[in-house]
Each structure stands twice: as structure tokens, then as C-alpha cells.
């Protein structure tokens, strides 16, 4: 796993004072159709989804989470690193009454939906990113960060299309009858950022890989020399930190320097939630990537 502090992504160095990096018609900008005008974090989607953010990342914080859950982070600060995952799990179980849904008012057949918690959603994504659980996670990214999904079983380009309606139906079905499921995901992301900041202080990026078969399946905004591309990623994506593992999933390898601020979850964060594959779930946007053959 390669972590780095560098601001330089690929071969081109860009100053955050450059007048060209944030122009509306620049390839570095997040297309208007891929973002919402509002979100629930400290930076707007047009900023956090841009190529400039990939090159010069900043911390992201979901509104109100740290303030509402101060007690969790006091407990984490007091716990040894090896016990922090257990502290987090215990807090989630108690705060959201995950083992006692009747205390949250669940009765009869609706009680079964309370079992659709953060662990089951993340595992569901791992099995199939285009599943109902995948729609919940993509919808959560859309709500919190303002990045709209670009793919869910089919391209999502037109909000009035049948494909988009199918995605929204799956998202609604996945959230129906659950116990503050998106609030649970808020804490997963915030805990992930807490853990990364303490395990890798000063680091700003991690190099991740994805096996692909066709670049035609991706929204390419700009092609460069020697396999360099600027692409628009889906609003949530699976990567691996192992290039060798990525080779098993496609004929080509995408290498991306992903800001740590965009890591939602990774396989070692909560042992037992994801099995193998060195999987990372990363929030999307515009990204400079390098495409190479196996």
C-alpha cells in the first residue's frame, strides 16, 4: 500500500493559485450534470469533485457528525489503537440499538428491516455494487457530498430516464424501514477519516488500482500521452491497494492517487466486514489516472 504526501499527481504540476484550474469550461472542473447545488459537508461538490481537489486535497467533514458524537471520539482517543475498531462497533450497536430494534419502535414484519445496518450495506456493495445496497451507498454520497451517481447497472446520464428511476427506487427500497441508515454511514466515513489520520499522519494520498476491460465504459474527459487520462469516476468506486489483485479483474489497470479524504471505507478498518481483495471504497469525481496493460 503506497501512501504519499505529494501534491503532484502524474507528470503535470498545478498550482492552486493558477487561474486556469477552476474555470467552468476546464477539464479539471466537475461537470454540472454530475453534481448537486447543495450538500451536507464543508466543501461544495464543484470543489471536492474537481481535479484540483485530487491534486490539493483538504479535509472533508459531514455537517454535525463530530459535534453530535463527541462521546465516541473521546472514547476513541482514550483507547489503544488495537481496540478502536471494537470501541466503534460497540458505540454503533448501542447508539442505534442495532441489537434491540424494538426500543426504536420496530414491531412485526418491519422489525426485519432494522437489520439492514451499515455492515450489511457495505458487504452488499462488496458482492454487487449495482445492488440495492449499492444504491443506498451511492445515494448517501449524493446526499452528503453532492456528487450524483454516473452508473448503477446502466449509465445514469438523464435524471428522467428509466435507468435513473430504477436507481432511485432501489435506493428508496434500501432505506425503507431502516434505523437511520444514512446516519450510520456518516459515522463510518468519519471513523475511517479518524483512523487514517492517526495511522498515516501527514499523508494526503494513497495509490489505488482498478482492473478494467474497456475505457469506453468510463467517462473520459481528456486523453494524454503514455496512458494518462482525466476521467469522471462514479460517485463511489471500488479499488484495491494491490496492483496484482487488480490484474484479476480486467485486461487493463487504472492507477489513481486517491486523496485520503475521499476514502469511505477500507478492508482493514473493521476486521471481518470485507473479506480479502484489499478493497477500498473511494468517493469519486474528476481524477487524473494512468492506464496500463497487465
pLDDT of residue 274: 87
> Full-prediction pTM beyond 0.85?
yes
pLDDT of residue 224: 87
Angle at CA 236, nearest 5°, toward 39 and 3?
105
185 in Cβ contact with 178 (< 8 Å)? no
Cell of 69: 458524537
| 179/104 Cα distance (integer angstroms) | 8
pLDDT of residue 123: 95
221 in Cβ contact with 27 (< 8 Å)? yes
**Domain ranges in the chain?**
65-199
Residues 6+ apart with CB under 8 A from 103: 97
209 in Cβ contact with 216 (< 8 Å)? no
Tens digits of pLDDT across the chain (294 residues): 667 764 433 333 333 333 333 343 456 789 999 999 999 999 999 999 999 999 999 999 999 999 999 999 999 999 999 999 999 999 999 999 998 877 666 666 555 566 789 999 999 999 999 999 999 999 999 999 999 999 999 999 999 999 999 999 999 999 998 889 999 999 999 999 999 999 999 999 999 999 998 887 889 999 989 899 999 999 999 999 999 999 988 889 999 999 999 999 999 999 999 876 789 999 999 999 999 987
pLDDT of residue 105: 64
pLDDT of residue 216: 78
pLDDT of residue 11: 32
Helix (H) or strand (E) holding 252: strand 252-259
pLDDT of residue 28: 77
Residues 6+ apart with CB under 8 A from 153: 130, 163, 166, 167
pLDDT of residue 22: 38
| 30/8 Cα distance (integer angstroms) | 19
Amino acid at each position: 500500500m503506497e501512501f504519499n504526501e505529494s501534491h503532484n499527481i502524474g507528470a503535470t504540476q498545478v498550482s492552486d493559485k493558477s487561474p486556469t484550474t477552476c474555470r467552468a469550461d476546464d477539464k479539471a472542473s466537475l461537470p454540472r450534470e454530475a453534481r448537486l447545488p447543495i450538500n451536507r459537508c464543508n466543501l461544495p461538490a464543484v470543489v471536492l469533485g474537481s481535479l484540483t481537489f485530487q491534486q490539493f486535497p483538504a479535509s472533508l467533514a459531514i455537517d454535525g457528525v463530530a459535534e453530535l458524537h463527541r462521546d465516541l471520539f473521546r472514547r476513541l482517543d482514550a483507547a489503544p489503537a488495537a481496540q478502536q475498531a471494537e470501541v466503534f462497533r460497540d458505540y454503533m450497536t448501542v447508539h442505534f440499538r442495532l441489537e434491540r430494534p424494538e426500543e426504536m419502535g420496530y414491531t412485526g414484519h418491519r422489525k426485519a428491516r432494522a437489520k439492514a445496518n451499515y455492515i450489511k450495506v457495505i458487504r452488499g456493495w462488496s458482492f454487487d455494487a449495482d445492488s440495492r445496497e449499492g444504491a443506498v451507498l451511492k445515494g448517501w454520497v449524493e446526499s452528503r457530498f453532492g456528487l450524483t451517481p454516473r452508473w448503477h447497472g446502466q449509465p445514469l446520464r438523464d435524471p428522467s430516464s428509466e435507468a435513473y428511476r430504477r436507481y432511485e427506487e432501489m435506493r428508496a427500497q434500501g432505506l425503507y424501514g431502516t434505523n437511520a441508515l444514512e446516519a450510520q454511514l456518516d459515522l463510518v466515513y468519519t471513523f475511517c477519516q479518524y483512523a487514517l489520520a492517526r495511522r498515516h499522519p501527514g499523508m494526503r494520498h494513497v495509490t489505488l488500482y482498478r482492473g478494467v476491460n474497456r475505457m469506453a465504459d468510463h467517462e473520459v474527459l481528456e486523453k494524454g500521452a503514455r496512458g494518462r487520462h482525466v476521467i469522471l469516476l462514479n460517485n463511489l468506486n471500488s479499488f484495491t491497494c494491490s496492483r496484482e489483485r487488480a490484474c484479476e479483474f480486467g485486461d487493463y489497470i487504472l492507477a489513481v492517487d486517491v486523496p485520503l479524504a475521499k476514502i469511505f471505507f477500507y478492508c482493514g478498518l473493521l476486521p471481518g466486514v470485507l473479506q480479502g481483495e484489499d478493497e477500498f471504497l473511494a468517493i469519486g469525481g474528476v481524477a487524473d489516472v494512468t492506464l496500463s496493460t497487465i
